[in-house]
Amino acid sequence: MKSLCSALLLMLMLRATLLAQSPADKKDIPPKQLRAALPASAPLLQGPMINAINNRASGAAVKDMGPALLPVAKQDFYAYVKQLYGDKQLQQVQKGFGLLKDTARIGRYLDEKLRGFYALKGNTDITGFLKAGAYSNRFKGAAAEAFTDNAAGALMPAGINARIQDDVTLGNIPVNLQFSHIAGQSFIDRGALNNALGKVSFDKETYIERMNQYVNKAFDLNKYFLQDIDVRAAFKDYADKKLEKAREDMSRLAADKGQQLTALSSLLSSDQLIYLDSNQIKNLVLDIPGFEVEEARLLSNLPDSVLAPKTATARRYLHKLWELKSILSKGLAAQQTLATQTVVENSIRKGLNSNDSKVRNIKELLPLNFLQRLLLQAKSLQAGKIAAGEKGGAVKDLFMSGAAGSFLNNDKFMMLGAGVRNDAGDIKNVGLNEGVDPSSFSMQFLQLGKGDVSGPHSHVGIVNANSRMASGHQLNPNTLARNVFVGTVSEQVSLGEYGTIAAEISKSNSEYRNAATGNDYALTSKAAAFTLFNDFWQTISVGLDYTGTVKSLDLSQRAYISYSGLGYSNPAAPGSARGTVRYGLNLRRSWNKRRVTVGFRADLQDMRMSALTNSRWKNSAYTIDARVKVKKNFSLSTRIGQSVMKGISDKMDQPGYVNRHVSLSSQYSGKLWSLPQSNNVTFSLQQMDILPVRSLLVNLNVNQSFIINTNMLTVSMMYNKDVKGQALYGDLLTAETGWSYTVLKKLACTSGITYLNNKAVVEQAGIKQSIGTELLPRLNVNLYLDCRKNIVNTTQNYLFGNFSTQLMIHYLLN
Amino acid sequence: MRKFCIGLLLMILLGQLQAKAQVSFAFMPEVQGRTLDGLLQVRVGGQAAGGQDVVLTITVTAKPVGAVVSIKTPAFRLMPGLNALPPGLLSGADIRFGNNRIADMCRQSGYFTEAEYEYCFEIADAGKGNSAPVLGEQCFDYMLQPFSPLILASPADEDAICDKRPTFFWQPLLPAVPGMQYRLILSELKPGQAKAEALRYNMPLINQQLISMPMLFFPPAARELNEGKEYIWQVTAYRGDMLLATSEMWTFRVNCADSSENRSAESFRDIEDLALGNFYLAKGTLRFAVRNTYGPASLSYTISGITDPSVRIRKLPAVRLKHGSNHILIDLSDNRGFKDGHYYQLELKLPDGGERKLRFIYKQETE
């Protein structure tokens, strides 16, 4: 328990430090603030809007009634709310109207509905056309491929693949259906591979587009944001009216003093009332010509009878003005409203097409049911045979049959899923029946936090996995029953223009059924979640990854470091490392408008072998590459690299593998013998030691193509020789020439001759043909055939078959 | 009689021997001894006709630390011949881990770390309690060195390459196990597709097995890769029908056009229109259409500087005119006479004697 607490504390501290570093870099007004800045909450804008609604309802210009709807308009509004949002909502609206002092929430709600009503185009029947377009089906396309390959090492000598894509819309929810069926002969068994894969995924983009169309069809969004109302004019109008009323009041009180009244009424304009502060207003009152008011007396609390009549009038007027001023300043300061109008307008205009504002408008304006509302917050939803997990999280590169979804609402993220992983079904594992690892797990995962997973975020995730005895084909029919639990904290921080840093801590724990440790006699089956902090340092995985660019230098860089304990195991991340320390650097810089580009890459990895000693596998890989664009149509590139692996232990170092290579290549396009041509040559030297075999290989690769009228002639050649004669894999020559042409205007064909010689293994010569055509509009058919005659063949030949075909039929609707 | 006696004796002796070696075990520590679950792939040879109910106990000890793990299965029926353990049997097994670091790592990851191990298998008659007679016992010794990670090398992850028939390299899985080979799968990665999905949903372009070296030439009979597309590959190490290790999934893109000429499809406007208008904008090239009413001839033209009249422009490409309408494209980008943003004038002499002048601004093509 203690260790649990301390570890939690550690994770929280890391979160806190990372959060503290995240800069506030949002320049745009966030939606919440935008809503507050909208004139909706300012009473002065409601006036013109209500007037407009009243005008529309009564069919004639109506005199300003103050902020109240005419009975006719109110009936229309109620009918609108009822039709769109139902009885319950109508009651709420009526209650809101009934309450004079509505709370801010009701006020905002009422305001949204009222603005929606204001923005409604004519008498549009929204529910009507929401229903009309609720169901549809669009066939997206289909493709079929068939192939044969008789190379000895081909995992699938023959196979077919059929794919279908279809878009279905149910209740206005678009769903993408995708099926792929790969079936074929495996090298051992005719019916070995029969992989039917299918998935259903929710099409978020289409959904938002579809709903947004409804919004635009039914509502005038410019009106919804009251952009047709001139805020400045409305505001001035409002101030004018108030000022007029104040003057009327004054005139009633001082009816006999004609001259004084003139002086008072010409004292300040509505503009001054808006822009001057209370002190400036006071100064104006002090300076009323012919009044000669003393400041001390004006501000005193003495009764009117004690003061001079003029002073008393002035004081009364000043108090009225101050009162007015405070009304105008309420909510949003008056000046601010005017100043922000342009800002708000701009951000609305900019935001009207952004996804966020589309979603907001849909939510506020359309009558949605629970599911439709939930889907607005969904990022992705899919079920079937699916890939799950994203970069930076407990789940990575997982393929499973199950369901998963992610949601993002107000910057709060959630991902959850459940499914079964079974590696035995993979194409690459055809024919394999055994494995040293458990290959099937049933698992559930959840990830929660702030921010989208692809941007700056801080998330907490968990994975719960149980090894599974599959009834069908499995790589390992016998595994020990175990429960693995993984907890992850991941954080991504944006450094603005300098890039991003991603940090991740993950902890795993495994528990077996009927197990005991050490001197315990009782066999127990614990849930791994409850003992998560067992063997802490051996089952933790920590990673830091930085990527960034320096634009002024045309430089991009990445650096990473990660550690994972020897006991770490995460079934939801099949490729996760164990017992390793990895670090690396990747730099790429360009000069002179990318005429020169240089890249450097270093990846180092130490993998521990022993729980007791320091023995480990030590890997390193370095590459430097450079490209120079000598001319627009001529470039040279070079690559120098080395990768080495060594086994290091207390007793001895064991050399394992060395691969060093240098290559130089050129690309040139231009004219040769007045024919347009392009040419690509690569020459490389490679040292490859897999002890005890040491090889030094020379590789040459030439590709040349000429354009002759509308036809193309290609010649390519690859030659590889082991200079040391070890023939690790060397002494291969392949040559090929092809002629591309069009027959009958529609058939695009390429015919070629091939030759291959792998010394003492195989020698072949043959022909190659491909035909492609559009049989019908959108229906493409492609045929490929490679046929060779074996001049020499031996049993060592696993790679070079002499008959390979491929037929592809594609039918696409977009 | 004597012969008969000897024969009887022999038969009794043989019978006794048979009783002692009633059970045998087939186990390959170099692969199956690497993980906890690998131990369960032991094959047990039974001889009792009609089968016999037995219990298997597997004990693993490591030289410096002692007991690592001991697994006792529930009872199962051992049939004559070589038996694999019945599927699902092990879900009811009892497991006891030792109290040492090797055992801790094994308990957490399922892997045995480097040590000298002794794997002992014991078959006892079931249903006779704790004092059940042991029917067979066999131990295997092995100095275990865990596998190195299976690391891909080239084409590098997320790299852009020019070769449409690349050769693939990876680092070998060490220590070498006799009979170990590799498989390589290459598929297209469609835009927006998850890596794990691409390798299962898409038709593999290469799906090769029996590879004995940590490299693979692009199969000559396979179709070459397409410019601009992204591909994903993965290597698997296996032995016989046993999966040993799987590499990460790496992607690369075939991107060669980047450095070769790339011209956008701009239209060719008639020189007559151009000559009338204002300054023409030449983005690296001059494009115009010209009608030639005479037979094929070479176009004579000169370009002079307006911004800098002293500049002398030489080495302009020769242009041939054919009869009828001609689309002329004059590449200026490699000529040093042209400076970004400067004004120039082109003077054409057509075969019919007509002269045309075209003023233009030269703009370097952005890359």
B185 vs A contacts (CB less than 8 Å): 155, 427-428
Q: What percent of chain A has pLDDT over 90?
A: 27
Which position has the higher pLDDT, A491 or A528?
A: A491
Q: Can you give the residue range of the structural domain that contains A60?
A: 31-131+219-224
From edge to edge, which strands make up the β-sheet containing B43-46? Answer: B24-26, B43-46, B81-84
Residue from A426, A450, A445 nearest A508 by CA: A445
* Whole-number pLDDT of residue A8: 43
Specify whether A533 is located in the same domain as A458: yes
In A632-729, DSSP assigns E strands to 634-648, 653-672, 675-690, 693-708, 711-722
Does residue A538 share a domain with residue A389?
yes
Q: Do A387 and B99 touch (CB under 8 A)?
A: no
Residue A583 has pLDDT above 70, yes or no: yes
Residues A652-705 have pLDDT tens digits of: 788 889 999 999 999 888 888 878 888 999 999 999 888 778 888 899 999 999
For residues A385 and A416, membership in a common domain is answered with yes
- Report the pLDDT value the prediction gives residue B245, as an integer from 0 to 100: 92
8 A C-beta contact, residue B69 and residue B96 = yes
pLDDT of residue A189: 63
Asked if domains B19-144 and B152-254 share a fold, the reply is: yes
With an 8 Å Cβ cutoff, is A514 touching chain B? yes
Q: Domain count for chain A, please give it.
A: 3
Q: Cα distance from A741 to chain B (closest Cα, Å)?
A: 18
CA atoms within 13 A on the CB side of B76: 22
Mutation for B interface: A187, A203, A385, A434, most B CBs within 10 A: A434
Residue A22 lies in a domain: yes
In a domain, A592, yes or no: no
Q: What is the C-alpha to C-alpha distance for residues A585 and B74, in angstroms, rounded to an integer?
A: 52
Determine whether the interchain pair A619/B149 forms a contact, defined as Cβ–Cβ distance below 8 Å: yes
Residue A724: its pLDDT value, please? 81
B194 in contact with A, Cβ within 8 Å: yes
Q: Taking 70 as the threshold, does the pLDDT of residue A57 lie above it?
A: no
pLDDT of residue B14: 47
Helices A231-253 and A258-265, axial angle in degrees (round to 10): 160
- Residue A444 β-bridge partners: A418, A464
Predicted pLDDT at A9: 44
Please identify among residues 566-625 of chain A the ones whose CB lies closer than 8 Å to any CB of chain B: 566-569, 574-575, 577-578, 580, 593-595, 601, 605, 607-613, 615, 617, 619, 621, 623
| B340 and chain A in contact, CB less than 8 A | no
Considering A30-44, A744-758, B262-276, the range whose residues carry the highest mean pLDDT is A744-758
Statement to judge: residues A413 and A499 lie in one domain: yes
Among residues A546, A580, A598, the one where a domain terminates is A546
Torsion-angle region of residue A579: left (phi > 0), alpha (psi -120 to 50) or beta?
left
ipTM of predicted assembly, 2 dp: 0.78
Q: Which residue has the higher pLDDT, A247 or B141?
A: B141
**Residue A744 confidence class, pLDDT cut points 50, 70, 90:** confident
Model pLDDT for residues B117-134, shown as the tens digit of each residue: 999 999 998 876 667 788
Residues 129-158 of A with CB under 8 A from B: 145, 147, 149, 151-156
Q: Read off the pLDDT band of A344 (50, 70, 90).
A: low
Q: Which residue among A156, A623, A631 places its CB closest to the CB of B334?
A: A631
Q: How far apart are CA A654 and CA A772, in angstroms?
A: 54
Tell me if A441 sits within 8 A of A455, measured CB to CB: no
Please indicate whether, in this complex, the C-beta atoms of B241 and A632 are within 8 angstroms of each other.
no
CA distance B292 to chain A (A): 21
Same domain, A440 and A303: no
Cβ–Cβ gap A427/B333 under 8 Å: no
pLDDT value at residue A3: 46
Q: Which residue has the higher pLDDT, A209 or A101?
A: A209
Minimal Cβ distance to B113: which of A399, A610, A804: A610
Q: What is the mean pLDDT of residues A603-623?
A: 93
- Is the Cβ pair A437, B201 closer than 8 Å? no
State whether A428 and B242 contact (CB < 8 Å): no
Domain B271-363 listed as CATH 2.30.29? no
Reference A506, options A549, A455, A472, A540; nearest CA is A540
Q: A221 and A358 in contact (C-beta within 8 Å)?
A: no
CB-CB under 8 Å, A437 with B35: yes
Nearest-Cα residue of chain A relative to residue B94: A514
Looking at per-residue confidence, does A87 or A536 come out higher? A536
A385 and A534 part of one domain: yes
**Above 80 in pLDDT, residue A226?**
no
Q: Which residues on neighbouring strands pair with residue A638, listed in sequence order? A: A626, A664
**What would the mean pLDDT of A73-99 be, rounded to a whole number?**
70
User: Does residue A69 sit in the same domain as residue A18?
Assistant: no
Q: Which amino acid is at A310?
A: K
Rounded distance, CA A338 to CA A518, Å?
76
Q: What is the pLDDT of residue A118?
A: 72
Final residue of a structural domain among A514, A546, A578 = A546
Residue with tokens 């289409």: A206
Decide if domain B19-144 falls under CATH 2.60.40.10.
yes
Residue of B nearest to A728 (CA): B213
Residues A403 and A537 in one domain: yes
Beta strands in A537-615 (DSSP E): 540-550, 555-564, 580-591, 596-608
Residue A297: pLDDT band (50, 70, 90) is confident
CATH number of B152-254: 2.60.40.10
**Would the pLDDT of A444 be above 80?**
yes
Nearest residue on chain B to A193, alpha-carbon basis: B200
Segment A495-501 mean pLDDT:
88
Q: What is the mean pLDDT of residues A198-208?
A: 85
Q: Is the pLDDT of residue A621 over 70?
A: yes
Instruction: Assess whether pLDDT exceeds 80 at residue A449.
Output: yes
Predicted confidence at residue B260, as pLDDT, reads 41
Name the residue ranges covered by the structural domains of chain B.
19-144, 152-254, 271-363
Average pLDDT, chain A: 79
Do A119 and A247 fall into the same domain?
no
Burial of B74 (0-12, 13-18, 19+ CB in 10 A): middle
Asked if residue A158 lies in contact with residue A193, where contact means CB atoms within 8 angstroms, the answer is no
Residues A505 and A469 in one domain: yes
**What is the CB neighbour count within 10 angstroms for residue A560?**
16
| Residue owning tokens 């002035």 | A314
What residue of A is the nearest CA neighbor of B214?
A690
Q: What pLDDT was estimated at residue A35? A: 41
| CA nearest to A429, candidates B90, B238, B131, B353 | B238
Do B89 and B78 meet the contact criterion of CB atoms below 8 Å apart? no
Q: Is the pLDDT of residue A395 over 80?
A: yes
A671: in domain = no
Averaging pLDDT over each range in A38-47, A219-228, B85-94, which range is the top one? B85-94
- Least trusted range by pLDDT, from A113-127, A223-237, B81-95: A223-237
Binned at pLDDT 50, 70 and 90, residue A38 comes out as: very low
Same domain, yes or no: A8 and A49: no
**A263 and A302 both lie in a single domain:** yes
pLDDT at A423: 87
Minimal-distance CA residue of chain B relative to A472 = B87
pLDDT less than 70: residues of chain B: 1-21, 128-130, 257-267, 275, 277-279, 365-367
